[in-house]
Structure 1
């Protein structure tokens, strides 16, 4: 059962990678560059969606530490896609060592957003447990 849950998390993360990278690459290929404030809004909305998805995942789980780790893996797909889209065009013009930069940036972003989502999910879970225990008494 746990292996199926982990494979599902990896699958969702991979799907998010494909969707985000495909969407961003299509925008770049079609030269559809919205104004900076619209781009910022899209990035912020994406970050909020990633945090909310991880928080939801962690809040529903049995073991918080295990779910938090899965949440960071869940966040890695879209974060890595964003980093690849942002840095790959620049890094291909530089030395081969720069090819690792999108991977490192994606990992750092996923740790930050995944960790924030895990924290929010844990707080939701504790508040839900407190509310349930208060109403039981």
Structure 2
């Protein structure tokens, strides 16, 4: 059975949300400029069409409108496949950097609270600085 355009749009918004925005609608809003409620409605399938200003925002953020609406092509606009992969990789790297920063904070808190770990303070400091430097 062939999917209708609303189903394709919903699946593609869900894919972008999960793959590039960690399932976080607010992050996707910041990344695309598309209204949060519109993104939520598209993700949930309660909205099956988008207006021209929403399409412009998606396009300005690098999303391939042909792919978004029909499923044909690649998720990102680029002159070739390598550029599309690079654009996606940059977004994923940004997500991973955020995760590493969060983990660094958690490690720092654990090391401060758990004195029985008995790591030399200089080693602790060096490890934390190395992690922080890696994500700057």
| TM above 0.5 | no
Structure having the larger proportion of residues in helix:
1
Q: Return the TM-score normalized by structure 2.
A: 0.34
**1 or 2 for the larger relative contact order (CA 8 Å, sep ≥6)?**
1
TM-score (norm 1): 0.33
